[in-house]
Amino acid sequence: MGEPSVPCPHIALSWPPDGSVTLEWIRRLTAILDWSSRNLPPSDLPTLLPSPVLLRILLAASDVLHKEPNCVRIQADEDLSSVVVVGDVHGQLHDVLFLLEDAGFPGEDRLFVFNGDYVDRGAWGLETFVLLLAWKVFLPHRVFLLRGNHESKYCTAVYGFENEVMVKYGDQGKQVYRKCLRCFEGLPLASIIADCIYTAHGGLFRSINITPSKRSKGKKGQKIVTNSNTSSLKLGSLEELSKARRTVLDPPWEGSNLIPGDVLWSDPSLDLGLSPNEERGIGLLWGPDCTEEFLKKNQFKLIIRSHEGPDARVKRHNLTGMDAGYTIDHDVESGKLITLFSAPDYPQFQASKERYNNRGAYIVLQPPDFSTPFFHTFEAIKPRPQVSAYYDYEEVIDSDEELDLKSMNNGSSTEGVASGQTH
């Protein structure tokens, strides 16, 4: 199959005179991003998407995102015919364009929830993120963008996105990157769909016990006891999730604000209970008993999370592989836990010659109760335009190796940051 014929946009995109993003404007943006990715050197992207226009998109989206709660509640109204849930996409622009067309574009009757990891590894993270932000600005109550672990300062410095922005926008690159980081901080952590489905990038999270401090008589101080010991770990509540501080560049791996890191980095396990995620160095591992407890307590029927691609799953021999773009990891009395991965033929750049050749997938939820997942799988759009990687994929730390936690705290945040596997 030859490359699709995408007409040349010719004229650079300008910001709408009245500041209102329209469907036609998004179509023009889409055409520019698609055509430029196939026909222009990356550093020429600003000739069609000038930095002032890009910055306006980022600013408008940031304003919308920062007003949303940590956990967005998505009610199923009478106009809604379907909810589409999407997993990691990792800068694979052409696969995202296919997914949007295949599922049907967002509209008053079709709502989208993205589980994060828009950037890094793939070569078009900026284009992918900007396109989805434009949809968010256009339809703020029909497009919901959650945060992934790669929407962080640390990951984007290691896995390509920061370098990508600098290559594409040169002198304006630092300003563009800072605005992207500001958007990352505003991305909500989780969603609840139709009162019965919980979605998040990594998954579940611990309880943070807050008790009055005996040392602070006469003050409003409180003593925060974090459940860091395996024996004392217990699941957190939605109320605790709502109170977590998400506006950090890098979710902390130690201290009192652990819930964001848990939600973005945790993984399911077949072993019972909650335990620290030693492989990643941040977040938790949770078993089917925890999935049952969380579903039953909140009267949910599904947990849809992402975060693990084929390269992560190939090393977790007791869990199903990610060949089809999704797995059902826990099937318990109250419902199911699903891992959803929407980047086919991932990763785009791979040191080994033997590729995983995984399919991508998205989930469609439909009325009346939206609790039955319909899986749609798809192949990667090929051939991909020829382009160089923005990170050293032959030397970068393997996705399953634990990183040096202290070395990651590079002063970008007062909280500390960690990482291991990176999906």
Which amino acids are annotated catalytic? 150
Measured at the CA of 336, the angle between CA 294 and CA 102, to 5 degrees, comes to 125
**How far is Cα of residue 338 from the mean position of the Cα atoms in its chain?**
15
Do residues 52 and 15 make contact, with C-beta atoms less than 8 angstroms apart? Answer: yes
Residues 224, 215 contacting (CB under 8 angstroms): no
Closest to 119 in 3D by CA, of 343, 364, 394 = 343
Report how far residue 167's alpha carbon sits from residue 159's, in angstroms, rounded to the nearest whole number: 14
Q: Which of 341, 353, 343 is nearest to 394 (CA)?
A: 353
Q: How far apart are CA 264 and CA 202, in angstroms?
A: 4
Residues 6+ apart with CB under 8 A from 283: 202, 261, 262, 264, 265, 266, 267, 277
DSSP 18: T
Phi-psi region of 273 (alpha: psi -120 to 50; beta: other; left: phi over 0): left
- CA distance linking residue 284 with residue 253, whole number of Å: 11
DSSP type of residue 43: G
Decide if 74 contacts 111 (C-beta within 8 A).
Answer: yes
State how far the Cα of 262 lies from the Cα of 245, in Å rounded to an integer: 12
